[in-house]
Structure 1
């Protein structure tokens, strides 16, 4: 997004995203993403395309669904609601990161690893992994890659 500074940069982007390859549809799908940061940056790219007369045409080829998504994200951005959603998202990420960092090694072992081990090796029935299968490398036949060439 920071590389798209002027009209020539936007035109350069559109050279790589020709209409025959889907045009801006490959970028506009970001408007539908669950992450508000991705939606924000997608909107910024599309707004830059809308800023210049020579690149404005590229927004005309969206299907109705993408066009409605674009208009919705634009309204959320203009109302400040998209930026609020980004702040809430970042706070949520920070909280979950802090929660993970606050656990010590014993808590992680007792909360996550031990229950998994109890399921794998149920102490009530004395079930364990069956080690009776003898797997040796002697019975493996090497494969010749030339055999697969037609």
Structure 2
């Protein structure tokens, strides 16, 4: 970490001289165990610990679901080519996949380490949840379009 990162709270992204170093057992971006030291304002330490527990308990499930949904989305054109599906069925496949992706991102608001450094965990959770809702709406649009075609 650079010196600049030591001046920002990982939870709120606020600069402060009151930061406390907290070392925790967590996971890296590939859901492998890691020990990391975070700098956090004392009033946000418990929130950081609670979020870390939630992250450790759910990161593997999150990655598995994301990989499965993305693979399904990538295989959808192959499914459409191999199976004689109508256009509205194809739109349903894409729409429900997009909705599932949005739900997963909303339920498990895990951002990249780079995003956490810039926004802080609190704002990253909000950004992930907004993204999840938007992706669900896009999926709903595909499904709505499918109903119009039927």
TM-score w.r.t. structure 1 length?
Answer: 0.30
Q: Which structure is richer in relative contact order (CA contacts within 8 A, separation 6 or more)? A: 2
More strand by share: 2
Q: TM-score, normalised by structure 2?
A: 0.30
